Homo-oligomer: A and B are copies of this chain.
Amino acid sequence: MGRATVRLDPAFAVGPVRPRLFGSFVEHMGRCVYTGIYEPSHPDADELGFRTDVAHLVRELGVTVVRYPGGNFVSNYRWEDGVGAKADRPTQLDLAWRSVETNQVGTDDFVDWARSVGVEPMMAVNLGTRGPSEAVELLLYCNGDPGTQWPDRRAQNGHVEPHDVRVWCLGNEMDGPWQMGHKTAEEYARVAEETARAMRRVDRDLELVACGSSSRGMPTFGTWERVVLERCFDLVDHVSAHAYYEPLDGDVDSFLASAEDMNRFIQSVVATADHVAAVRGSDKRIMVSFDEWNVWRQQGFDGESSLAVREAPELIEDVYDVTDAVVVGSLLATLLQHADRVSMACQAQLVNVIAPIMTEPGGASWRQTIYHPFALTARYARGMVLRPAVVCDRVDTAAYGPVDQLVVTATLDDTGEGGADLTVFFANRSRTEPVELTLDVAAAVGAAPGDWTLVEHLALYDDDPTATNTRLEPDRVVPRPGGARTEGDTLTATLPPTSWHCIRLTEAVSR
């Protein structure tokens, strides 16, 4: 049994919770789009062909922004193939995933869907097989006022009003040799620079995301960001980071500590961006767009070239267990802890493809284990993120050395009229040891003793950490009431091994 003492102080705040941290990602890959969000023949499909059962789960998940249409897919995508009358759209072979792309969903369709489920669309342009001209044409198609060729075409396709997409990714993972049209840092820096300049000539207020590294392990990590920002510093607002985690060679202890990697990743990119700023004598702060992250069991993947050519194949449909959910919860906590410099984050992906939501073609949809920490964090992380002071045991890991057994983050939200909501998220990363948690509630938020009330303690864990949700047993793993209790000013709880928690308190208005 480990012990942990957590102290919180509103004076030590990271910054406000950014809604865009709860983003997701829809790529034309596997069954994310086709038989995922879109399936015209499904009984629950709406008049545009989108599945309303999936849309319901998306809304409940609390997703705020959705990146589209890739991912690797975008780097050989011809966006014009996906607009206009559906019968006239060509079927292409996508080389990112060797999949047959029917183009029945495209830019207009996605934006329609995004608006219908209340999420902000975030688009990527193809800088793999294409360049600045096509990026500008897509931007004009999406955002331009009628009167010139591309906006007029959008209007002809039924969308007179501009889509007004504000956030644009300048390509995807261009540092990766697997990417169609992959680039050296210098090559990418130049094409991103010219593309950004041209796009800003259309609309100088866009938010532009430069490609950072595809993982912290890339051979060009760090250098890539420096070279790109040296060229693009004045032209972009965000630099991307992507990370996927899995138990490598069965090392679950290190896997549970994946947030350590994400933490170092963010710190390194921030340092690089601020170095470039320093050299330029600039106060501008480039933000991190962590626009692909999740648990993904990649080990053993034989390379894209080995994939069979198919239409909407079942690609990387990882089934997540309790351990995965605890890791996802701790990654979300880590993103919140960097809310001062991480402006956006997109869990990859939304449906079927390494996703919180699963579907059966023509049939059911359900929530994977990782759905729950995402949904609860997105719902209850509100107000300011607090920087917690945690004293706890350490867990030894092969990848990161000894790490804190607990990952903790907290948000404090002024409810108006003197009251406030406090939500604290915990992940216990030990596979064997529970934690006896002590939290001084009054000290935590500087309130008078007795002002705080425990609203709820939801816990995600299982005697079997490999338990999963499936079509037949979709609610095998769901949050359940935890045992937190307050006694005077002290909240105590026992957090089982491999568990994730959301503890909510509220302050009496009487203060």
Residues A148 and B95 in contact in the complex (CB < 8 Å), given A132-B129, A304-B201? no
Q: Does A454 contact B (CB under 8 A)?
A: no
> By the criterion CB–CB under 8 Å, are B305 and A204 in contact?
yes
Chain B's closest residue to A202 (CB) is B95
Q: Does A48 contact B (CB under 8 A)?
A: no
Residues A305 and B180 in contact in the complex (CB < 8 Å), given A90-B149, A91-B148, A95-B136? no
> Among residues 439 to 488 in chain A, which have CB atoms less than 8 Å away from a CB atom of chain B?
none
> Among residues 195 to 221 in chain A, which have CB atoms less than 8 Å away from a CB atom of chain B?
197-198, 200-202, 204
Give, as a whole number of angstroms, the nearest-CB distance from A90 to chain B: 5
Give, as a whole number of angstroms, the nearest-CB distance from A164 to chain B: 15
> By the criterion CB–CB under 8 Å, are B129 and A133 in contact?
yes
> By the criterion CB–CB under 8 Å, are A132 and B180 in contact?
yes
Q: Does A318 contact B (CB under 8 A)?
A: no
Q: Which of chain B's residues have a CB closer than 8 A to the CB of A420?
A: none
> By the criterion CB–CB under 8 Å, are B95 and A198 in contact?
yes
Q: Which of chain B's residues have a CB closer than 8 A to the CB of A201?
A: 95, 98, 180, 304-305
Q: Which of chain B's residues have a CB closer than 8 A to the CB of A130?
A: 133
Q: Does A278 contact B (CB under 8 A)?
A: no
> By the criterion CB–CB under 8 Å, are A100 and B147 in contact?
yes
How far is it, in angstroms, between the C-alpha of A136 and the C-alpha of B152 when the chains are bound? 30
How far is it, in angstroms, between the C-alpha of A182 and the C-alpha of B190 when the chains are bound? 9
> By the criterion CB–CB under 8 Å, are A182 and B194 in contact?
yes
Q: Does A187 contact B (CB under 8 A)?
A: yes
> By the criterion CB–CB under 8 Å, are A177 and B190 in contact?
no
Q: Does A184 contact B (CB under 8 A)?
A: yes
Q: Which of chain B's residues have a CB closer than 8 A to the CB of A92?
A: 148-149
> By the criterion CB–CB under 8 Å, are B145 and A309 in contact?
yes
Q: Does A181 contact B (CB under 8 A)?
A: yes
Which of B93, B133, B197, B204 contacts A182 (CB under 8 A)? B197
Q: Does A140 contact B (CB under 8 A)?
A: yes
Q: Which of chain B's residues have a CB closer than 8 A to the CB of A306?
A: 204
How far is it, in angstroms, between the C-alpha of A184 and the C-alpha of B189 when the chains are bound? 12
Q: Binary interface profile of A, 121-157, with partner B (CB < 8 Å = 1, else 0)? A: 0000000011111001000100011011110100000
Give, as a whole number of angstroms, the nearest-CB distance from A233 to chain B: 13
How far is it, in angstroms, between the C-alpha of A145 and the C-alpha of B150 when the chains are bound? 33
Give, as a whole number of angstroms, the nearest-CB distance from A77 to chain B: 11
Q: Binary interface profile of A, 90-118, with partner B (CB < 8 Å = 1, else 0)? A: 11110100101000000000000000000
Q: Binary interface profile of A, 403-424, with partner B (CB < 8 Å = 1, else 0)? A: 0000000000000000000000
Which of B98, B197, B202 contacts A177 (CB under 8 A)? B197
Give, as a whole number of angstroms, the nearest-CB distance from A361 to chain B: 19
> By the criterion CB–CB under 8 Å, are A305 and B200 in contact?
yes
Q: Which of chain B's residues have a CB closer than 8 A to the CB of A309?
A: 145
Which of B100, B147, B150, B304 contacts A148 (CB under 8 A)? B100
Q: Which of chain B's residues have a CB closer than 8 A to the CB of A140?
A: 93
How far is it, in angstroms, between the C-alpha of A197 and the C-alpha of B180 when the chains are bound? 8
How far is it, in angstroms, between the C-alpha of A187 and the C-alpha of B204 when the chains are bound? 26
Q: Which of chain B's residues have a CB closer than 8 A to the CB of A190?
A: 184, 187
How far is it, in angstroms, between the C-alpha of A305 and the C-alpha of B203 when the chains are bound? 7
What are 13 A-to-B residue pairs whose CB atoms are below 8 Å? A76-B133, A76-B198, A90-B148, A91-B149, A93-B140, A93-B149, A93-B202, A95-B136, A98-B201, A129-B131, A129-B198, A132-B180, A201-B305
